[in-house]
Chain A
Amino acid sequence: MFERLGDKVRQRLRGWTEQMAGEERKDQLQALTRTENEYGVDPFGFNLDYSLAAIAPLLWLYRNYHRVETFGIEKIPKGRVLLVANHSGQLPMDGAMIGVAMMMEAQPPRAIRSMVEKWVPTLPYISKFFARVGQIVGTPENCRRLLAAEEAILVFPEGARGITKLWPQRYQLQEFGLGFMRLALETDTPIVPIAVVGAEEQAPALVDVKPVAKLLGFPAFPLTPTGLPFPLPTKYRLYFGDPMHFTGRADDEDSELDKKVRTVKAAIQTMIHQGLKERRGIFW
């Protein structure tokens, strides 16, 4: 019974996505079908039907709530690519909005993958949802496999440090992990830096109640003026930079890798400053 109810809801949502996307895009989206088996999933658990349904509320938020504007999305190269972005806003809406942009604005549309924390597979419902929309656990092995299959992977090298940072640190990039650079060098994958402007203000966190976070097993427990980290309707701007190619040894000293990572970080920081200068306000 639940199954049938689920199917009906899914069809409705998918219809909604297609209506918002328009006729032309609808056909393009259908072409996103990966190497699916007779049960409609690819080996990683991605399901196009499920994803197109799941994206409907996000697409609505993208168009009407955060009113996302993209700049330079046409710079994304074909084939495998690492999308490296700043991470902020307590809830990973930035990831969702980049995902929607890649599906709805990029030409041709792409269903990106992103790497999620290892605690995600332990969370009921969320683990299933993430798997069906193509998000997988961020092990280097998984990442290599997807890049070899010419996929686009979204990475937030700041990780939890970025998304949980407090209001005074807004738009200051936190320490970047080096893992993505190792993978880029190893697999000869171009990196596209992305700056997200507008996500910082969606849920300004004043304090992080660490004991509660620890108790619940969360990376952080932020308190916002409203209490909850519910996103406010801030206007999002997504800046896509020029693809960056790096050469060198993947097993180099950390200091060598760090130099390369810093050029990516600088590219993102520059676009953030540009975005902050260009915008007239937080909500428009």
Chain B
Amino acid sequence: MTSTEDPSALLPLTPAVLHILLTLSTGEKHGYAIMMEVAAQTDGAVRMGPGTLYGSVKRMIATGLIEPVKERPANKNENENEDERRRYYRLTDFGQRVLEAEIRRLESIVQLPVARKLLGVERSSG
């Protein structure tokens, strides 16, 4: 675990890691749910295979960004589609800080062309 480390040391994040962190920021999820949500939030542009997903998950657990949930989340319905054997993952505090740092970094990049009027947006005179 590297939870005491500086979050900016892990930046920039790979697209797969960023999308997994974004997905888990809304709650605990299992692998297939993560894949489906990533595909939905990118309009199908990012489609992770099982290898990409669990390769990223392995590295994210090793760096302390996420952790497996030991107990089954209480808010999950016990219906047929929810398999008992599924392992859920959640964001750690360190993962949350890394995600926030990455979003700030991306925001600063997005602001750059606006500041330079590259997108035809007038800089506010305030």
Do chains A and B stick together as partners? no
Residues of A bordering B, CB below 8 Å: none
Residues of B bordering A, CB below 8 Å: none
